[in-house]
Amino acid sequence: MILDPSILALLVSSVLISLMTLYACGYGVQILRRWDIASGSELQLALERRTYLISTIVSYFLAFQLVSLFLLIQTVDSICHLFVGAMCAVGTLTVNSFGYPTLLLKVATFILAGLWLILNYADNKGYDYPLIRAKYLLLLIMAPFIVAETVVQWIYFLGLRPDIITSCCGSLFSQGSRGIASEILAAPSVPMEITFYACMLITVAAGTRLFLRGKGGYLFAGMSGISFAVSIVSIISFISLYFYEMPSHHCPFCILQKEYGYVGYPLYGLMFLGAVTGLGVATLQPFVKKESLEKIIPAMQRKLATVSVFSFLTFTAIVTWQILFSSFKLEGY
């Protein structure tokens, strides 16, 4: 293991967060089993008070998880020279098979926590705790992921040994690394560009429809999920090229570095925001019929859709700007 302060920080904080989550889950189970809104018993009053604690914990979790996601990338990037062949975060993450799972679990738990808070917000608007069961079931689904993330992250960092030979973005994300003609590289890029713009177009259209007619919640949410995934693939496939202005640098992490003006932070931030708010629409959809939320959910969905569409549009605008004004041109590669 490498005794780096950032690694220690990540490990310690993830353990603390996991413990808090387990603590919250204990009460979550109690709420699921003993909840009785009609009762004025002291147990019920105590459980209602607990709900405040749990939502506070999840809110902090969401904030911390976002920072920890970027810190993980930053950390593995800063220690990459310890590994032969690694030139940035990608190389360090591939040192053992737990690097990417850690990253993915961080993304997943972040999104789940965001969805939980959306449910929580809606629930708090209803006068009879309409979503209490859904909310705590989701918490129980979330908890194993959070704990798994802590465990996998430990294994990953424990397994990091200097001198392990790894490969980096140069070879991992480029089809032409063995000197094969550059046209191979161009081939997947152009269809990807088309897919990306098509995705964004459909998402915005679906969002507008949801906003105007209040219809197509699942369609929009599904599209925003797909857009999120397509955006990540697009970053690797072609967006990164315009930022690096190099034909074979396909790294999804280097755009977070100073050399590229930290442009990765707003880009990923917008993607996350778009995905969480977009998927939030679907999370609320099953409960539209709840009497106490009849008015609340459609209004919330509209707001969420607006934020989501706005995020994806801004994301697309930044990318398009770069494509148009970057001195790098994809044609010919």
Partner 1 sequence: MISVRDISKVFNAGRPNEFTALRRLSLDVQMHETTILKGPSGSGKTTLLGLMGCMARPSTGRISLNNREITSLPERFLTEIRRSTFGFIFQQFNLIKGISALENVMFPAYPTGEKFSTLHKRALATLEMFNLDKRADAKIEWLSGGEAQRVAIARALINNPMVIIADEPTAHLDTKLSQEFMDIMRDLKARGTTIILASHDPIVYDSDLADRVVEMRDGQVVHGGTGP
Partner 2 sequence: MVIERHLHILDFTLSSLLRRKGKNGALLLVYTLIVFILASVLFFTHALKREAALVLKDAPEIVVQHTLTGRYQPIPVAWGDRIGKINGVISVRPRLWGYHYDTLLMANYTLMVPAENPPGPGSIDLGSGISRTHGANSGDMIAFAGHDGVPRMFTIRKILDSESQLLTSDLILLSEKDYRDFSGIAADQATDLTLRVRNPREYATIAEKITRMYPDTRPIMRSEILRTYDAVFGWRSGLMIVILSAAALAFIIFAWDKATGLSAEERKEIGILKAIGWETSDILMMKFWEGTAISLTAFLLGVILAHVHVFSTSSALFAPVLKGWSTLYPSFRLTPFIDFGQVATLFFLTVVPYTITTIVPSWRAATIEPDAVMR
Residue 141 interaction partner, one of partner 2, partner 1, none, beta carbon < 5-8 Å per kind:
none
Distance CA 16, CA 208 (A): 41
Residues 160 to 179 in contact with partner 2, rule: CB under 8 A:
162-163
DSSP code of residue 236:
I
Distances (CA, A) of 269 to 70, 149, 205: 10, 21, 22
Smallest gap from residue 38 Cβ to partner 1 (A)? 6
Smallest gap from residue 265 Cβ to partner 2 (A)? 8
- Asked if 279 interacts with partner 2 (CB under 8 A), we say no
Distance CA 135, CA 132 (A): 5
The answer to whether 251 touches 172, Cβ cutoff 8 Å, is: no
Residue 37 interaction partner, one of partner 2, partner 1, none, beta carbon < 5-8 Å per kind:
partner 1
The answer to whether 271 touches 85, Cβ cutoff 8 Å, is: no
Residue 104 interaction partner, one of partner 1, partner 2, none, beta carbon < 5-8 Å per kind:
none
- Asked if 165 interacts with partner 1 (CB under 8 A), we say no
Smallest gap from residue 256 Cβ to partner 2 (A)? 8
179: three-class secondary structure by DSSP: coil
Distances (CA, A) of 21 to 14, 143, 146, 155, 284: 10, 6, 8, 20, 23
| Nearer residue to partner 1 within complex by CB, 55 or 166 | 55
- Asked if 181 interacts with partner 1 (CB under 8 A), we say no
For residue 24, which of 68, 66, 55, 63 has the smallest C-alpha distance? 55
Residue among 22, 37, 43, 84 that touches partner 2 (CB under 8 A) = 84
Residue among 5, 40, 179, 332 that touches partner 1 (CB under 8 A) = 40
Distance CA 234, CA 252 (A): 9
Smallest gap from residue 42 Cβ to partner 1 (A)? 5
Smallest gap from residue 83 Cβ to partner 2 (A)? 9
- Alpha-helix residue ranges (DSSP H) falling in the chain: 5-34, 42-78, 89-93, 99-125, 132-158, 169-172, 183-213, 217-234, 240-244, 264-284, 296-325
Give burial (CB, 10 Å; 0-12/13-18/19+) of 91: buried
Using CB under 8 A as the criterion, what x/- string covers residues 105-124 for binding partner 1? -------------------x
Residue 128 interaction partner, one of partner 1, partner 2, none, beta carbon < 5-8 Å per kind:
partner 1
- Asked if 37 interacts with partner 1 (CB under 8 A), we say yes
Contact stretch for partner 1 (CB under 8 A) within 66-74, 127-135, 159-167, 244-252:
127-135
Cβ neighbours for 54, distance < 8 A, ≥ 6 positions apart: 24, 27, 28, 139
At 38, list the tokens: 């009609």
Residue 212 interaction partner, one of partner 1, partner 2, none, beta carbon < 5-8 Å per kind:
none
Using CB under 8 A as the criterion, what x/- string covers residues 229-258 for binding partner 1? ------------------------------
For residue 119, which of 286, 330, 332, 305 has the smallest C-alpha distance? 286
Residues 47 to 66 in contact with partner 1, rule: CB under 8 A:
48-49
Residues lying near partner 2 in the complex (CB under 8 A): 2-10, 12-13, 16-17, 20, 49, 52-53, 56-57, 60, 64, 67-68, 70-71, 74-75, 77-79, 81-82, 84-85, 162-163, 258, 262
Residues lying near partner 1 in the complex (CB under 8 A): 37-38, 40-42, 45, 48-49, 124, 127-129
